[in-house]
């Protein structure tokens, strides 16, 4: 009889272990939240399925969400997840090089130096408490708009103090600066500043319906401080590639471009996910669907970029790693260039290719953002859906 009960226990133990294993596996590996388009239904494979859907809890014309119970084998409760339902978005493909003219909101302190005076070396900027990366927003109560304005204020101070309003990583400060007389003549503050930037990048997508465009996939940063430059206003113009410096390990190359007189549009936003602006006229670019984050897969893809006068071309790449959406906003995936022709010509990714669209399964899935210095055949990419979200936020804030 004991043997019978032992055998019976073993028979029941195996299914129990299987059930607990399924529940544990589902809780560990199934996401707490997924996004699908309005024409899709959630797919969790053959073992797991969505049961007992709740009513929609929130929604707009293009977005809604609901909660669903996930079961194993259609009977074993596993977990509850949130399902976001979005309307499929379409944009025009970029890939063309454009020129960026950006003027900062305030004046950026990029370096601090001593002033040689008749009585010796002095440090007015250090004494005032200024630091590299500070943004001077006002001078004696007047909005700071250019480095020329600051220079004139210092020179005309006659050694009297200047009241400076500072933005330091979002913290608002008020500092007092007393310029010193230089042995070279005139009053000096002992700071180097910047109020503008210019360069080239690549357009990621056009949205003719909204009259906007997006590019770079990362913000325009100050070359000295590495911080994103606060945008006051700016202009995007068409550009022409007239050559490039080839990439090699430890020495990433770059595109060389010439600005044209043809304006693309005005810049509205410079942030972590790229630059965004208003189009002067429709692009008439080829329209493709934008992939959801969940639709981006490891494997073969293509990047669209411009390296010569032939305009945007498709080149083979591979998506080798995908990061969770909680990771850095402009580093959502790692890509590797596999196109033999592109590797032969450029050595891989070049500076200036930032913003180059990444296409997979006939959808826009992302944009190139950074090149690996020690291996320029690889780089980071951002989800195109993340850039589209930023564009929508810009539009709602306008």
Catalytic residues: 218, 339, 354
For residues 356 and 54, give the distance between their C-alpha atoms in angstroms, rounded to a whole number.
40
What residues contact 355, with CB distance under 8 A and at least 6 apart?
A: 94, 201, 202, 203, 204, 214, 215, 216, 217, 274, 367, 368, 369
Q: Which residues pair with 174 in a beta bridge?
A: 165
User: What is each CA distance from 226 to 109, 133, 267, 327, in whole angstroms?
Assistant: 12, 8, 20, 20
Residues in the chain: 398
Measured over all CA atoms, what is the biggest interatomic distance in the chain, rounded to whole angstroms?
108
For residues 219 and 212, give the distance between their C-alpha atoms in angstroms, rounded to a whole number.
17
Phi, psi of 16 (to 5 degrees): -65, -45
For residues 304 and 48, give the distance between their C-alpha atoms in angstroms, rounded to a whole number.
38
What residues contact 280, with CB distance under 8 A and at least 6 apart?
A: 263, 264, 265, 266
Q: How far is CA 141 from the centre of its chain?
A: 34
């Amino acid at each position: 009889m004991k043997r019978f009960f032992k055998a019976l226990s073993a028979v029941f133990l195996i299914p129990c272990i299987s059930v607990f294993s399924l529940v544990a596996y589902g809780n560990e590996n199934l996401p707490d939240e997924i996004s699908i388009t309005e024409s899709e239904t959630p797919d969790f494979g053959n073992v797991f399925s969505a049961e007992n859907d709740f009513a929609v809890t929130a929604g707009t014309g293009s977005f809604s969400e609901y909660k669903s119970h996930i079961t194993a084998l259609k009977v074993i409760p596993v977990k509850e997840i949130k399902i976001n339902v979005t309307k499929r978005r379409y944009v025009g493909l970029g890939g063309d090089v454009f020129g960026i003219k950006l003027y900062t909101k305030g004046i950026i302190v990029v370096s601090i130096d001593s002033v040689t005076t008749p009585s010796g070396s002095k440090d007015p900027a250090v004494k005032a408490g200024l630091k590299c990366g500070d943004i001077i927003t006002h001078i004696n109560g007047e909005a700071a708009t250019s480095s020329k304005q600051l220079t004139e204020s210092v020179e005309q101070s006659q050694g009297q103090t200047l009241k400076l309003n500072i933005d330091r990583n979002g913290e608002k400060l008020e500092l007092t600066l007393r310029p010193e007389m230089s042995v070279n003549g005139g009053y000096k503050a002992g700071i180097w500043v910047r109020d503008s930037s210019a360069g080239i990048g690549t357009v990621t997508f056009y949205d003719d319906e909204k009259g906007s465009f997006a590019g770079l996939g990362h913000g325009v940063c100050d070359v000295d401080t590495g911080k994103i430059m606060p945008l006051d206003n700016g202009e995007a113009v068409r550009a022409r590639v007239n050559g490039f410096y080839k990439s090699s390990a430890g020495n990433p190359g770059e595109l060389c471009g010439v600005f044209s007189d043809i304006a693309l549009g005005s810049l509205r936003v410079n942030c972590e996910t790229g630059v965004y602006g208003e189009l002067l006229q429709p692009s008439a670019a080829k329209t493709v669907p934008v992939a959801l984050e969940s639709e981006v897969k490891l494997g073969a893809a293509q990047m669209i970029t411009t390296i010569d006068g032939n305009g945007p071309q498709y080149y083979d790449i591979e998506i080798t790693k995908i990061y969770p959406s909680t990771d850095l906003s402009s580093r959502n995936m790692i890509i590797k260039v596999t196109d033999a022709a592109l590797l032969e010509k450029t050595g891989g990714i070049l500076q200036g290719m930032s913003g180059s669209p990444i296409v997979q399964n006939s959808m826009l899935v992302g944009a190139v953002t950074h090149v690996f210095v020690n291996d320029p055949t690889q780089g980071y990419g951002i989800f195109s859906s993340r850039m589209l979200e930023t564009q929508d936020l810009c539009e709602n804030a306008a």
